[in-house]
Amino acid sequence: MPKVKDVEPIELHGDIWKHITPGEVILEARGITKRYPGGVLANDHIDFKIRAGEVHAILGENGAGKTTLMSILFGLIQPDAGEIYVRGLQVRFRSPEDAIRMGIGMVHQHRKLVPAHTVLENILLGHPKSKGVINIKDAEEEVVAIAERYGFRVDPRARVWQLTEGEKQVVEIVKALYRGAKILILDEPTSALTPVETERLLESIETMTQDALGVVPFITHKLPMVLAISDEVTILRRGRVVDRLKTAEATEQILAQKMVGRPVIFDLKKPDVTPGKPVIQVEDLSARNNKGLIALKNVSFTVREGEILGIAGVAGNGQHELAETLMGLRPAESGRILFNGQDVTHLPILDRWKLGMGYTPAERTDVGSIGDFTLVENVAMNYYFDNRYNHAGFLDYRGLRQLTERIIEEFDVATPSPDVKIQTLSGGNLQKIILGRVLSREPKLIIANLPAQGLDVGATEFVQRKLLEARSNQAAVILISEDLDEILSLSDWIAPMYEGEIVDILPAAEAKKDIIGAMIAGLHQEH
């Protein structure tokens, strides 16, 4: 066995990436094990290898161990046991800088860019070349050449805050390639992309593999992308490798069942429901964003009992402001909101809850829960004003605990007790408890903002099924999602949004994915 090598400056390993043969193993992990305080075994003797010119996807539920493995391969955390080899050289990464020096690049789901800086400044920031005198003109030409090579569109002089999420991802990828990455780790690579941007990314990854790069996408629920992009798949469950297979031998159903350990229903059947009376009517509603700019522009729609209106769009096009304005978290600049015929445009949030409006926010930890509170205390936030649990100003803790236990059982929340802090739950279980406390009130209107974002296929199926059950019970549902498949599957009507405006409102039975995708990208002006 070769001697373990602590990574040294990049110049000492300049020859390691010469003469790469397509198909050779360029990164290998053996027996990677990581245990966190409290006894959680996040990685249990994981073996993994990536070959030159290959896309090897890592697939798993929330909490399966993907993030830990990814962090170890990129030097963010240290394993308790196991070995990492780069082209046969055993290495020890003390930091991400070491991994970068050995040709490993990582594109995080949550971007690691400085908004006020230009694209070029972000790419150069922290690069070894930036420690000396930089020739900006040469650097810009090199960045543009890399982008053009892989089919990316990038303006080196644009400020990052001006970019879409898709454009920010391009900057992250070009930054990694500029630093010499030969192995590219992608964390949920299409989670915030439009269909057009997704297609471009797949084409770019194909070019990377032709250049003998190894690409490792870590994916939670985008199974069609796994099948479209990868050559091989390693599936994790509860910290262990449960299978490794060629993508050509897989289907969505096979991958999902191996991920969650049970069959998963992808084609959820929408029961026939006869729509009732209008529940919410929105008339010419406008609102400002946190920067004081108009982000929601004269939006109008109606949702009836037993209907789901799907608001489709890429992040930053006014959907977030719409959800908050409807629920009273953000003031309306103009327009009206009628709920069961009553004008609630300027009504306080608590009064909207009492009338029967329900809201599940996209920000589960910042808005939807208080991490240091127990599950019971978090459930109480939607019930503290309810006469069933509030007696002359005193909360009925026993009743709230029983309610929480019912929610845990009905919504299949994995937790040892309703008395643990909610911050101990995984993302999927946190979303279930938030959804459970809202739906248990049987609201007449449900505003579901990104209800399945970041969830694995099992949790996604569960959440979607619960929304359909609420629709069958004659609730009106406003579903805000960046996932067009989810929108098309669940909605009765679809409203694509672009730059704060609803482009059109289409019956789901007539909507086509490519048309909706063009609308949310600003490429389709008329229906």
- Let me know if residue 152 belongs to a domain: no
3-state secondary structure 405-458: HHHHHHCCCCCCCCCCEHHHCCHHHHHHHHHHHHHCCCCCEEEEECCCCCCCHH
Q: Which residue has the higher pLDDT, 109 or 415?
A: 415
- Let me know if residue 215 belongs to a domain: yes
Q: What is the pLDDT of residues 233-247, one digit of tens each?
A: 999 988 999 999 999
- Let me know if residue 169 belongs to a domain: no
Q: What is the pLDDT of residue 11?
A: 40
Q: What is the pLDDT of residues 455-467, one digit of tens each?
A: 777 788 888 999 9
Q: What is the pLDDT of residue 194?
A: 66
For 40, half-sphere exposure in the C-beta direction (CA atoms, 13 angstrom radius) is 12
Measuring CA to CA, which residue among 132, 48, 138, 31 is closest to residue 82?
Answer: 31
Q: What is the pLDDT of residue 334?
A: 97
- Let me know if residue 283 belongs to a domain: no
Domain span at 16 = 5-112+176-256
Burial 95-132 (b: 16+ CB within 10 A, else e): ebebbbbbbbbbbbeebebeeeebbbbbbbeeeeeeee
SS3 519: helix
- Let me know if residue 41 belongs to a domain: yes
Look over the chain and give the mean of its residue pLDDT values, rounded to a whole number: 88
The CATH number assigned to the domain holding 51 equals 3.40.50.300
- Let me know if residue 527 belongs to a domain: no
Q: What is the pLDDT of residues 495-522, one digit of tens each?
A: 999 999 999 999 998 888 889 988 998 8
- Residues in Cβ contact with 317 at an 8 Å cutoff, skipping those fewer than 6 apart: 497, 498, 499, 500, 520
Which residues on neighbouring strands pair with residue 494, listed in sequence order? Answer: 310, 506
Rounded distance between C-alpha atoms, residue 376 and residue 449, angstroms? 23
Q: Write the burial class of residue 175 (CB in 10 Å: 0-12 exposed, 13-18 middle, 19+ buried).
A: buried
- Let me know if residue 20 belongs to a domain: yes
Q: Give how many domains the chain has, as a whole number.
A: 1
Q: What is the pLDDT of residues 317-342, one digit of tens each?
A: 999 999 999 999 999 999 999 999 99
Give, for 247, the enclosing helix (H) or strand (E): none
Tokens 């406008």 found at: 286
Q: Is the pLDDT of residue 15 over 80?
A: no
- Let me know if residue 354 belongs to a domain: no
Q: What is the pLDDT of residue 7?
A: 47
Select, from the ranges 127-136, 257-266, 412-421, the one with the highest average predicted confidence (pLDDT). 412-421
Tokens of 143: 């960045």
Q: What is the pLDDT of residue 266?
A: 63
Q: Is the pLDDT of residue 2 over 50?
A: no
Q: Which residue has the higher pLDDT, 299 or 112?
A: 299
